[in-house]
Amino acid sequence: MPVQPILRYPHPVLKKLCNRVEKIDQCIHDLIQDLVDTMHEGPGSVGVAASQIGVTLRVCVVDVSKNRHGKENNHGLLRMINPEITDRSGSATMREGCMSVPDYTGDVDRATEITLQFSEPDGTRRELTASGFEAVAIQHEMDHLDGVLFLDRVTSIKTGLFRRKNY
C-alpha cells in the first residue's frame, strides 16, 4: 500500500473527534496497511493515527520496538481499532514530537503504565498492559483519535515547548 501524506497542524481534521469503526472490512485493512507503511517511512516515527492521514476513524498503529527507548519493553507492531484505555497509573514527563507538528517538540505529562482494550484487524478483542515509552506512544496516538495534539498537553508553553533543530 502507498505511504500517505501526513496532515500538518493547523489542519482542521487533526482537531476532529474520530468515529468508531463499526465494521472491519477491506477498507479498514487497507487503512491499517497505509498507516503501517506511513509510520515506517516517517523519520523516527513510532506511531500514526488515521486522522493524521485525513481519515476520521478510530484506528492507529504503534511500534516502538526499533526505537532505543522502546527496544527492551514492547509488544511489537500494534494495529489498534477502537482502542480504549481502561486503567492508567504513574506519571512522567517526556519530550514528544509528532509528524503533524514537525517543527516542535514538547514536554508532556503522561501515565507511565496503561491498560487498554482494542480490536485486532481480524476482529479479535485484545487487552494489554503497556508501560514506559510504549505507553507514552500509545497515549499520543490515541490522543489524535480525540482531536488532541501534544501541543494541547505541553506542560508549559513558556518552558516546555522547543523548536526542533532538524527533522
Contact 140, 150 (CB under 8 A): yes
Radius of gyration of the chain (CA): 15
Could you tell me which of 85, 6, 12, 21 has the C-alpha nearest to residue 58?
A: 21
Residue 31 contacts by C-beta under 8 Å, 6 or more apart in sequence? 50, 55, 57, 59
Contact 107, 94 (CB under 8 A): yes
Q: How many CA atoms lie within 13 A of 122 on its CB side?
A: 2
Cα gap 54→12, rounded to integer Å: 10
141 is catalytic: yes
> Choosing from 22, 72, 120, 141, which is the catalytic residue?
141
Catalytically active residues are 141
